[in-house]
Structures are given as C-alpha cells and as structure tokens.
Amino acid sequence: MEASKVIIETTVPASRKLQREDAQALLAKASKMIVAKGKKIIEFEGGKAATDEALDAMLGSTGNLRAPTSVVGTTLLIGFNEEAFTSVFR
C-alpha cells in the first residue's frame, strides 16, 4: 500500500467480526463492488442495484465479512487480487 501511496483511514481488527448487516451497509454506499477469490474476479453493482448474490459473495463460510475489505472512493474491494487492487488504486 505504501508503494502506491495509499492512505489507510480506518482499520478494523480481526477480533471485531463484521457480519451480514455490516456488509449490507457497506454495499449500499458503494457504486460497484469487486470480489476476488483466488484468480477469479467478479464485479457487482452496489447501491440500490445490489443483489443478494453480491451480499453473499462478501461473506465467508462463517458468515463474517471476508478480508481484506477496502473502500476506495465508491468502489468496494473484497478479498485480494493484485490485478484488481492495481486497477482501482491507479
């Protein structure tokens, strides 16, 4: 993150579990969401166009919000994929 000159405004410790309601609030504020699962990248619409499928993609098997989760402007990034991060942080 430092190499890209990204400033982290808020960090949530792993001990604080964010669940479906928290994920729904984040998705409602986003215009789009990019979910990375390994090499697979899926894009969803946020805001009023958000679907249950998008919300489900944000959550891990325990029902908690997947990490890392980043909010960049109005884009929500879930999971890690270097290509996805690079495209958003440019």
Q: Residue 12 above 60 pLDDT?
A: yes
**pLDDT per position as a tens digit, 61-77:** 999 999 899 898 899 99
What digits encode the pLDDT tens for the residues 20-60? 999 999 999 999 999 998 889 999 999 999 999 999 999 99
> Buried b vs exposed e over 33-50: b needs ≥16 C-beta within 10 Å?
bbbbeeeeeeebebeeeb
pLDDT reported for residue 4: 61
What pLDDT score was predicted for residue 65? Answer: 94
Longest CA–CA separation in the chain, Å: 35
pTM, full prediction: 0.85
**Quick one: pLDDT at residue 3?**
59
